[in-house]
Structure 1
Amino acid sequence: MKKYLNQKDLPSLNNGKKTAEKADKPASFFLTVYKIARQVPRGRVTSYGAIAEASGLKITGRMVGWAMAAAGGAKPAVPAHRVVNSKGELSGAAHFATPTLMQELLEQEGIEVKNNKIINFQSVFWNPATPGPKKRVTKQ
């Protein structure tokens, strides 16, 4: 029979501080994911896989998705609405307070969304591995 850990058995996040045992690594991959997600500029998006790759950790896009699903209580806030799947789809929308909140937040930042998918995804994509300019170039 499987035994599941109690919450008290899980390692502490140490309020974002590094542990003495592992002074060169963050206490949780969540903290690394959140740090990268906080860098996504307003009006831009990135993908779960891009964050996983940029993290330098051996994690997958799915693991980044788990972190984003739990980002609601993170301090400082994590702009999880700016993280989508590799096709530009709002696959994490179900984890927001309302079914349309993710789309509404993106649209407030000037990102066009239709049928739960970002229009012109490549033009608003921000790669955390090669961040480059923070401003989005718009055609006139």
Structure 2
Amino acid sequence: MKEPDFAERVYWLVTQIPYGQVATYGQIATYAGSPRAARAVGTLLRHSLENYGELPWQRVLNAQGRISFKGDLGRAELQRALLEAEGISFHQGQCDLRRVRWAPREVFWDVD
């Protein structure tokens, strides 16, 4: 059986984030085996709506617990609305990662 590539690992990991919890781009990159690839995770998720319509992309935030919108204010507003519908609150644009960060019990892939 073929080992999944980085993108496949990222997409799979994002589907594992439970409702009402979030992860950071760096966290997903690390769990996918490439801890220095946080920006690549962001790029994959930015294009996820076209490729993976059911992917809960909204559950991935930056390291400060903020929404990164890269000039797409509409998507940022949608992300916040989706997260708030899951019970995640924001104070001054930031959520409390200590309270809502996903903490899986296992390491998924070894670092490249």
Alignment of 1:1-140 (within 5 A): 23-26=1-4, 28-57=5-34, 60-75=37-52, 77-92=54-69, 94-95=71-72, 97-118=74-95, 120-128=96-104, 130=105
TM-score by length of 2: 0.80
The Cα of 1:116 is off from its aligned counterpart by: 2.5
Whole-Å Cα distance in 2 between the matches of residues 94 and 67 of structure 1? 16
> Rg bigger for which structure?
1
Number of equivalenced pairs: 106
- In structure 1, list runs of 5 or more residues that go unmatched: 1-22, 132-140
Whole-Å Cα distance in 2 between the matches of residues 93 and 57 of structure 1? 22
TM-score by length of 1: 0.65
The Cα of 1:99 is off from its aligned counterpart by: 4.1
CA RMSD of aligned residues (A): 2.2
Whole-Å Cα distance in 2 between the matches of residues 41 and 94 of structure 1? 27
- In structure 2, list runs of 5 or more residues that go unmatched: 107-112
Change (3 A) 1:68 1:96: farther
Identity of aligned pairs, percent? Answer: 30
Bigger relative contact order, structure 1 or 2, given CA contacts below 8 A and separation 6+? 2
The answer to which of 30-39 and 70-79 deviates more is 70-79
Change (3 A) 1:98 1:66: closer
